[in-house]
Amino acid sequence: MNGAESLVRTLVGGGVDVCFANPGTSEMHFVAALDRVEGMRCVLGLFEGVVTGAADGYARMREQPAATLLHLGPGLANGLANIHNANKASSPMVNIVGDHATYHRKYDAPLTSDIEGLARPSSHWVKTSPDAQSIAADGAAAIAAARRSPGRIATLILPADTAWNEGSGPAEVPPVAAVEPVSPEAVAAAARALRSGRPCLILLGGRALRQEGLDLAGRIAARTGARLMAQGSNARTQRGRGRVFVERVPYVVDQAARVLAGLEHIILVGAKMPVAFFAYPDKPSLLAPAAAQGHVLARLDQDLVGALEALADELGARTTPAAIADPPRPVAATGKIAPEALGASLAALLPEAAIVVDEAVTTGRGFFAPTRAAAPHDWLSNMGGSIGLGMPLATGAAVACPDRKVVTLEGDGSAMYTLQALWTQAREGLDVTTLLFSNRSYQILKGELANVGAGNPGRKALDMLDLDRPDLDFVTLAKGMGVPGARVTEMEEFNRRVAEGIAMPGPFLVEVVF
């Protein structure tokens, strides 16, 4: 058994049974080994940003790492933006990056580069396997590294000769350290702040935003009168009817500062003290009032649900009923297309257990509030701020959860980074309905131009922010990649087409022009 097959068997044996791939010559033995090993699903992405974003979406939903297969330094570099996003979302991921054979590197062939150097900034674990006998054990170590709480990026570099020479056979994944519990002192300090009678916020992130954590946090908030919020963006939030609703810290600095004004204590549960996405002249970087004191109940890598349980026990809140979101069932909007109308219709149309991938940027800012009344669903956001994540993330989520509908909320500008994800959705028959918001501009940046004090834009500046001349035709682009779709220009059509997309199996795209 060669090194490549030893590695693939190690991955499958270690529970890594999906590989998102964009291979090249140096990975051919790995590709060939896929045929010889049962149990590995391989999904081709036509750009590495699709591959790595899909691995992120898969990990968020399956809570297991997927593997990626990338072609030397340039293949990794193409995938790095979405590895950055996955890293910020604490998604586990095992990247396998092919390299030249060890003896070939010294000749500086065209694809030679510093792969470890490229990998390091967004990987917790990086190793170049030295020989075919080591590759399986290195693969097993990579899986263990990726699985460490709260989820990490492991990048294993696979020189071609380590793939084709005689390997060791599969290796066992070493044990992964159990999730660290929080200290009694942290629980006591949080309880003291919550009992102080002073304005207090419980700020949630990570796994605290799943149903169990939300339920506990809701009980604690009801018992103590504290406010409850989530970070501005989160990897996966469980929400909708019947669940505890949490507002997010707003993106806009002034709005965030208003929402957080007056707070004296912030209990951090898998969250950090809120910071502005960017610095702006004359605006604060830290969004909470200077006097507000942060209390770390649990770091993101610690046992967040256990921490909330301990805190609820300490406060006698286990049986206090949480305030549950149960507003009236939303009704689809009619008439002109506008963000508010889209939010209302989305809330009415989302199917039970939908996975919502949110990269709708400015159009989607108001979607969060109305969709609290939607059927229960999971909401996935971009935590790394690098756009071009939405459609790949949706692709991976759909691979992870074939029984659930994925609904992608996508800005037209963001869509164009990794549009190839549609082809993978078509090829794999993935159940993804994409709502493509064609405002034909980088709308958010028009606001940011003013916010940073860059003055009034002239023609040249506006040309950098408008996506017209020519207008993009997303229905035709999708059709060319095997995804059917429709363009809509008023809400009745929107409602009809979205319902159609949701009802049919497989991918569908609704281009919303407004």
Ligand X SMILES: Cc1ncc(C[n+]2csc(CCOP(=O)(O)OP(=O)(O)O)c2C)c(N)n1
Q: Which residues of this protein are in contact with ligand X, per CB under 6 A? A: 81, 361-363, 385-388, 411-414, 439, 441-445
Strands (E), 174-307: 200-204, 227-230, 237-239, 247-248, 265-269, 293-298
Q: What minimum distance in Å lies between the beta carbon of 281 and ligand X?
A: 19
Q: Nearest distance from residue 437's CB to ligand X, in Å? A: 7
3-state DSSP assignment of residue 97: strand
Residue of closest CB approach to ligand X = 411
Contact 504, 428 (CB under 8 A): no
- By beta-carbon proximity to ligand X, the closer residue of 4 and 435 is 435
Q: Is 79 helix (H, G, I), strand (E, B) or coil?
A: helix
> Cβ closer to ligand X: 303 or 412?
412
> Which of residues 138 and 358 has its CB atom nearest to ligand X in the complex?
358
Residue 379 phi, psi (nearest 5): -120, 120
Instruction: Supply the minimum distance, in Å, between the C-beta of residue 359 and ligand X.
Output: 7
Distance in Å, CB of 171 to ligand X, minimum: 37
Q: Which is nearer to ligand X, 150 or 411 (CB)?
A: 411
Q: Ramachandran region of residue 417, left (φ > 0), alpha (ψ -120 to 50) or beta?
A: alpha
Q: How far is the CB of 299 from ligand X (least distance, A)?
A: 27
Q: Which is nearer to ligand X, 168 or 441 (CB)?
A: 441
Residue positions counted in the chain: 514
- Who contacts 252 (Cβ-Cβ below 8 Å, separation ≥6)? none
Tokens of 486: 């429709």
How distant, in Å, are the alpha carbons of 48, 352, 439 from that of 244?
Answer: 37, 16, 33
Residue type for position 24? G
Distance of closest approach, residue 97 Cβ to ligand X, in angstroms: 21
Q: Return the H-helix or E-strand segment holding 349.
A: helix 339-349
- Residue 226 to residues 221, 305, 323, 424, 473: CA-CA distances in angstroms? 5, 18, 12, 45, 48
Q: Enter the tokens of residue 468.
A: 């017209």
Least Cβ distance, residue 440 to ligand X (angstroms): 8
Of 55 and 361, which has the nearer Cβ to ligand X? 361
Q: What is the DSSP letter of 206?
A: G
List the one residue out of 128, 147, 170, 325 whose CA is nearest residue 237: 325
CB 167 within 8 A of CB 7: yes
* Cβ 513 to ligand X shortest distance, Å: 13
Under DSSP, is residue 14 helix (H, G, I), strand (E, B) or coil?
coil
- Report the residue number, 44 or 416, with the smaller CB distance to ligand X: 416
Name the residue nearer to ligand X (CB basis): 125 or 417.
417
| Burial environment of residue 103 by CB neighbours within 10 A (0 to 12, 13 to 18, 19 or more) | exposed
C-beta of 142 vs 387, nearer to ligand X: 387
| Residue 211 C-beta-side C-alpha neighbours within 13 Å | 8
- Tell me how far, at minimum, the Cβ of 178 lies from ligand X, in Å: 36
Please identify, using beta-carbon distances, which residue of 441 and 451 lies nearer to ligand X.
441
CB 254, min distance to ligand X, A: 18
Q: Phi first, then psi: give them for residue 281, nearest 5 degrees.
A: -55, 135
